[in-house]
Amino acid sequence: MWRRALLSLSAILLLSAVVAAQESHSEISLQGTGSFTKDSTGNGTLQRGTETGGFLVGYRYHFNRWLAAETVYGYNRNTQEFFAPTGLSRIQANVHQATGGFVIKLPTPARLRFSPYLLAEGGALVFDPTNNRFGTVPGAQRQATGVFAYGGGADFPIVKHVSLRAEYRGLVYSAPDFGLTTLNTNTITHTAQPSAGIMFRF
């Protein structure tokens, strides 16, 4: 009796695992990125962020065929340059990105071997000065600011459960001043973040 019960339970668990694997609700992704920030001007100061590269790591859970929730962590390092009447200031910083939101998968004909999607997310950017002596200003502090992320992309299947991903994210946020009123432009800026990488579904 116990052997039969154990075999039945094992069969149920195995069947459940197979069904879950076939449904593949979850996926993780790793992408290399570029970051291109729009210049902003305010309070007599021009602020410019240097172009740089970084990476994104994401987890996505699919509720159904067209809607998913996503959380993303991103990292890059750039230098914020401030052109003010008093002179030029540079602050090099590690930039951490943490966002969460929703992804909508767009319908496509079956003959097309890619899956496009749109995304909308909210979260935070953290600018953490590196204290590089050639890229710092006395008194510069770590600063967090809210961010809205929007964009879209497409997944291109390679083999079962593995796809290439191409994506564009636009980040809208308040330009950082690192807690220094003399560097505050009081403006909203935008970073374009194209990326490409690989996605695993399970």
For residue 137, give its domain range: 24-201
Q: Give a yes or no: residue 196 inside a domain.
A: yes
Q: How is residue 171 written in tokens?
A: 């980040």
How many structural domains compose the chain? 1
Q: Give a yes or no: residue 16 inside a domain.
A: no
Task: Judge whether residue 21 has pLDDT over 80.
Answer: no
Q: Give a yes or no: residue 14 inside a domain.
A: no
DSSP single-letter state for residue 16: H
Is-contact 116 106, C-beta < 8 A?
yes
Q: Give a yes or no: residue 15 inside a domain.
A: no
Q: Give a yes or no: residue 12 inside a domain.
A: no
Contacts of residue 127, defined as CB under 8 A and 6 or more positions apart, other chains included, come to 80, 93, 94, 95, 142, 143, 144, 145, 176, 178
One-letter amino acid for residue 156 of the chain: F
User: pLDDT band at 9, cuts 50/70/90?
Assistant: very low
Query: Given this model, what pLDDT does residue 2 score?
Result: 46
CATH of the domain at 115: 2.40.160.20
Q: Tens digits of per-residue pLDDT, 67-95?
A: 999 999 999 999 999 998 888 999 999 99
Q: Tens digits of per-residue pLDDT, 99-155?
A: 999 999 998 887 788 999 999 999 999 999 999 888 889 999 999 999 999 999 999
Task: Judge whether residue 53 has pLDDT over 90.
Answer: yes
Q: Give a yes or no: residue 2 inside a domain.
A: no
